[in-house]
């Protein structure tokens, strides 16, 4: 719960609505309806757990391994939506993928080109086609 301005992001696997609460709004809800504290706290602690896991991954894995993991995760999400049995098209630009990984576009471009040379992906304008998803986690 920050008292200052905070940048937030959200990714949903299905249609969703996001509600952003400031600290004052959160405190007002909990004061008026204490039963909401546990589920709201669970959401907050879940986000902290994700952040810690991300930081551990950044420290443990290089950019190439993180790229492979994130692409595999995105493929799994598309397949969970019932989209893609073989090749999977991911509607993410190189800039978007760089932001997901926390690296620059200059860092991610050669990594994507290497995966393309290996025949794992095909790079297109504003999307990546994963031709062999199994090889992402190899």
Co-location of 79 and 112 in the same domain: yes
Number of domains into which the chain is organized: 2
Integer Cα distance of 109 and 114 in angstroms: 9
End-to-end Cα distance, the chain: 39
The pTM of this model reads 0.62
Co-location of 66 and 46 in the same domain: no
Co-location of 29 and 75 in the same domain: no
pLDDT, mean over the chain: 83
Q: Does 8 fall in a domain? A: no
Co-location of 85 and 124 in the same domain: yes
pLDDT in tens, 22-68: 788 888 888 999 898 888 888 888 888 888 887 787 777 888 888 99
Q: Does 78 fall in a domain? A: yes
Integer Cα distance of 112 and 135 in angstroms: 14
Residue 3 confidence class, pLDDT cut points 50, 70, 90: low
Co-location of 54 and 70 in the same domain: no
- pLDDT for res 43: 83
Residue with tokens 């800039």: 95
Domain hosting 100: range is 62-137
- Tokens coding 126: 């504003």
pLDDT in tens, 4-30: 666 666 777 678 887 777 788 888 888
- pLDDT for res 1: 53
Q: Are 135 and 125 in contact (CB under 8 A)?
A: no
Co-location of 49 and 69 in the same domain: no
Higher pLDDT, 128 or 83: 128
Q: What is the CA radius of gyration of the chain?
A: 18
Judged by DSSP in three states, 88 sits in strand
Co-location of 28 and 50 in the same domain: yes
For residues 79-85, average pLDDT: 72
């Amino acid at each position: 719960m920050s008292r200052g301005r905070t940048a937030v992001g959200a990714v949903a696997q299905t249609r969703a609505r996001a509600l952003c609460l400031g600290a004052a709004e959160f405190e007002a809800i909990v004061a008026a309806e204490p039963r909401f504290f546990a589920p709201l706290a669970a959401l907050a602690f879940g986000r902290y757990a994700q952040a810690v896991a991300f930081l551990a991954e950044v420290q443990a894995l290089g950019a190439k391994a993180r790229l492979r993991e994130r692409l595999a995760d995105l493929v799994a999400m598309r397949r969970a939506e019932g989209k893609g049995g073989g090749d999977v098209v991911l509607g993410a630009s190189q800039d978007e993928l760089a932001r997901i990984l926390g690296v620059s576009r200059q860092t991610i471009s050669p990594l994507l080109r290497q995966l393309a040379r290996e025949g794992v992906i095909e790079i297109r304008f504003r999307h990546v086609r994963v031709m062999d998803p199994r090889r992402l986690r190899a």
